[in-house]
Copies of this chain bind each other. A is one copy, B any other.
Amino acid sequence: MELLKQRIEKDGLALNEHVLKVDSFLNHQIDPVLMQEIGKEFAERFKDAGVTKILTLESSGIAPSVMAALELGVSVVFARKRKSLTLTDDLVTATVYSYTKQESNTIAVSSRFIKKEDTVLIIDDFLANGEAAKGLIEVVESIGAKVAGVGIVIEKSFQPGADEIESKGYRLESLARVESLKAGEVTFKDEKAEVVK
């Protein structure tokens, strides 16, 4: 997605070889116009996948997911990273390790909102080691629902998550694929498809 890659080149910051900071438009400050375009791109790529629900993880996945959901005419469910007192019933959980935060979280989804009849598009802001995406897939499959695919805003292709998810046969659509962050430079991998210009 050209608009996103331009924005990463302009405002993204390669802090080191592993960390790309995009907190000026995606995961602390949010540009709603860019989110709308990202939502349209996800919707276009998955329009024939029969999506009935989008599943994401709080917090940075919510904005792109809501915009994609608006385009696809479905609802979003965001997995919570821990249990709150008013969200106690019928929880389906998975354990997700965050390399960034160096901690494990339980992610939880109510089975009242994802049913075995659903076809679920999983959306997240980043794909690195794939821990979050794999946790969300685990949740969907333990409910018995179908995974339509995984939509990622920024894939760090030099980390193992993308290969791992594709090798398991899941459809993966990453809107920007970062090949390297060496020497403070963001280098993109060629995109597989460019649907919305």
Which residues of A come within 8 Å of B, CB atoms?
A: 15, 19, 21, 23-25, 28-33, 35-36, 58-59, 62-63, 65-67, 69-70, 75-78, 80, 84-87, 100-102, 109-110, 112-113
Contacts of A23 in B (CB 8 A): 86-87, 110, 113
User: What CA separation (Å) do A149 and B33 show in the bound complex?
Assistant: 23
CB distance from A22 to the nearest CB of B (A): 9
B32 engages A59 (CB within 8 Å) = no
| From B24, B32, B63, B76, contact of A29 by CB (8 A) | B76
A66 engages B69 (CB within 8 Å) = no
A113 engages B80 (CB within 8 Å) = no
User: What CA separation (Å) do A58 and B76 show in the bound complex?
Assistant: 16
A86 engages B59 (CB within 8 Å) = no
User: What CA separation (Å) do A65 and B30 show in the bound complex?
Assistant: 10
Using known A-B contacts A23-B110, A110-B23, A112-B24, determine if residue A32 contacts B66 with beta carbons closer than 8 Å: yes
Contacts of A87 in B (CB 8 A): 23, 28
| From B33, B69, B75, B84, contact of A101 by CB (8 A) | B84
Using known A-B contacts A30-B69, A63-B62, A69-B30, determine if residue A101 contacts B76 with beta carbons closer than 8 Å: no
User: What CA separation (Å) do A100 and B82 show in the bound complex?
Assistant: 13
